[in-house]
Chain A
C-alpha cells in the first residue's frame, strides 16, 4: 500500500501552482486534503510523477465569506471548518447537514470542500448539494478566472469540465431564498461509506403550496444528478402525497445506478426515491411559510 515515487511541490500562490500544473501537464496532480487522491495512489489508480500540494496557497484558504449576495467558500476549506461555521449554518444549513454525513471526524479534518467537488467522484456528497444550491465553481487558469455552474460541471465519473491546467479556487453559492427549508438525506451502510443513494432538497412554500424547489441526487449515476423535472413538478403545487409521488417518480426515472456492494441497481433507484421523499418532507417541515 505504498504509492509509486513522486516529486513533491508546495507552491505558495495560485500563480505558482498554475505554473507547476502547466509545466508538468499529465504527469502532475494537485492535492488538497488528499483523502481521495492518496487512496487512489496507493491502488496505483493514480500515478502522478509530481504532486503539487496546495496547502500553503493562502488565496485558497480565504475561508467562508459573503461576497455580493453570494457566499464564497475557499477551495481549501475543510469539511470540519465548514461544519464549524455558525453563520453559514444559519444562512445555508444544508451544507453543514451534508458535511456531517461525509466520512468521519478525522477525514473531515483533512478533506476539503474544493477537493470534494473538483474530484468528480460520483460518490462524493457535496456535488449534488452544490447542484441543488445552483453553485458556481470559480476556476483559475492561464486564460484568467471563470465561473462554471455546478449543474454543468460533471461529465462522467472523474471527468469534469474543469479543463487542463486549471485549478478550482473557490465555490460561489447564491443565498438560498429567505425562509427556505432544506435537507440532505443519505442512506449508507455504515459511517464513512459512500451513499447507497442520497438526496438534496431545497424548497420554499406559502402554506402548503410550494413556491420554489431544487432537488439533486448523489451516487445513483456516474455523475451527481440535478433532478430538474422532479423540482419542476413541485413548484406551484400543493405538497400533497400525489404531487410528491410524481416528483419521486421523476427523480427515480433519471437514475442510472450500478449494481455493487450497496445493492442492485433497481434497489438503489428505489432508495434514491425514498431519500427524495424523506428530504422533501424534512425540507417542507423546516421551511417557514
Chain B
C-alpha cells in the first residue's frame, strides 16, 4: 500500500506529487500544496467549508480522495481573484455587503458561489439560497451572504453586457 503518483492542475498550475491514495483532497491541497484557503470544517461533507471546483463542478474536498482527483482540474479560493491581484466581483461583494463575520465558511461560500454564477448567471434569491445550501455559516444568518452573491451576479452581468 504505497504511495501513488498523482498529477493535477490546481489554479492553472500543473502539480505532480507522490501521495497515499487515502489522502483526502483537502489535506493534499492544504498540506502538500500549502493552499490553506479551503478549510477543514466538519470533515463529514456537511458544512461545505472545504468546497473546491473539480473539473467544473463544486465538490466537498473532504470527501474526495486525491487518488480520485488524479488528472483533474482544481480551482480553490486562491485561484478566484484576478491575475493582477484585484478581487473577483464576488470577493468584492462579500466585502461590500459584509457577507462574513468570522470568515471560516467564506472560502467555501465564495468558491461555491463562483461556480453557481457560471451555471446560473442571473439567479433569483431563492436560487442563490438553494445553490449554496451545501455551505453552512454559523455567524451571519446568510442574509448578507445572499445579498453579496446577488450583487456580484448583477455586477458580473453588467460587465458582460458592457463587453458585448
Is B59 a contact of A109 with CB atoms below 8 Å? yes
Is B22 a contact of A104 with CB atoms below 8 Å? no
A223 to B67, CA, bound (A): 32
Stretch at the interface among A1-9, A14-22, A173-181, A248-256: A1-9
Q: Which residues of A contact B67 (CB under 8 A)?
A: 8, 10, 51, 53
21 contacts across the A-B interface (CB closer than 8 A): A1-B62, A2-B24, A3-B22, A6-B21, A6-B22, A7-B1, A8-B21, A8-B65, A34-B68, A38-B63, A38-B65, A42-B44, A80-B57, A104-B48, A104-B134, A105-B131, A106-B48, A106-B59, A106-B112, A107-B60, A191-B134
Whether a CB of chain A sits under 8 angstroms from the CB of B73 is no
* Most central of B23, B59, B112, B116 by chain A CB within 10 Å: B59
User: How many residue pairs between the two chains, A and B, have CB atoms under 8 Å in the bound complex?
Assistant: 85
Is B58 a contact of A109 with CB atoms below 8 Å? yes
A55 to B72, CA, bound (A): 12
A44 to chain B, nearest CB (A): 12
A66 to chain B, nearest CB (A): 26
Per-residue interface assignment for chain A, residues 19 to 47, with 1 indicating a CB less than 8 Å from any chain B CB and 0 otherwise: 00000000000010011001101100000
Is B21 a contact of A105 with CB atoms below 8 Å? no
CB-based closest 5 A-B pairs: A104-B134, A8-B21, A8-B67, A109-B57, A5-B1
Nearest residue, chain A, Cβ from B2: A7
- Chain A: number of interface residues, binned into ranges: 20 to 34
- Chain B: number of interface residues, binned into ranges: 20 to 34
Nearest residue, chain A, Cβ from B47: A192
A93 to chain B, nearest CB (A): 18
Is A105 a contact of B63 with CB atoms below 8 Å? no
Is A110 a contact of B134 with CB atoms below 8 Å? no
User: Which of A182-231 touch B at CB < 8 Å?
Assistant: 191-192
Whether a CB of chain B sits under 8 angstroms from the CB of A103 is yes
User: Which of A262-284 touch B at CB < 8 Å?
Assistant: none
Residues of chain A at the chain B interface (Cβ within 8 Å): 1-8, 10, 31, 34-35, 38-39, 41-42, 49, 51, 53, 55, 80, 103-107, 109-110, 191-192
Nearest residue, chain B, Cβ from A78: B57
Is B68 a contact of A55 with CB atoms below 8 Å? yes
User: Which of B8-24 touch A at CB < 8 Å?
Assistant: 20-24
Is A51 a contact of B21 with CB atoms below 8 Å? yes
Is B65 a contact of A103 with CB atoms below 8 Å? no
* Most central of B22, B59, B62, B132 by chain A CB within 10 Å: B22
A172 to chain B, nearest CB (A): 27
* Most central of A3, A42, A106 by chain B CB within 10 Å: A106
Nearest residue, chain A, Cβ from B42: A1
Whether a CB of chain A sits under 8 angstroms from the CB of B43 is yes
Per-residue interface assignment for chain B, residues 63 to 102, with 1 indicating a CB less than 8 Å from any chain A CB and 0 otherwise: 1110110100000000000000000000000000000000
Nearest residue, chain A, Cβ from B40: A1
With A34-B68, A107-B60: A5-B20 Cβ-Cβ less than 8 Å:
yes
Q: Which residues of B contact A10 (CB under 8 A)?
A: 67, 70
Is A8 a contact of B4 with CB atoms below 8 Å? yes
Other 14 A-B pairs with CB < 8 A, given A4-B22, A6-B22, A7-B21: A1-B43, A3-B22, A6-B21, A7-B1, A10-B70, A31-B68, A34-B63, A34-B68, A41-B22, A103-B134, A105-B130, A106-B58, A109-B59, A192-B46
A35 to B116, CA, bound (A): 21
Is A191 a contact of B68 with CB atoms below 8 Å? no
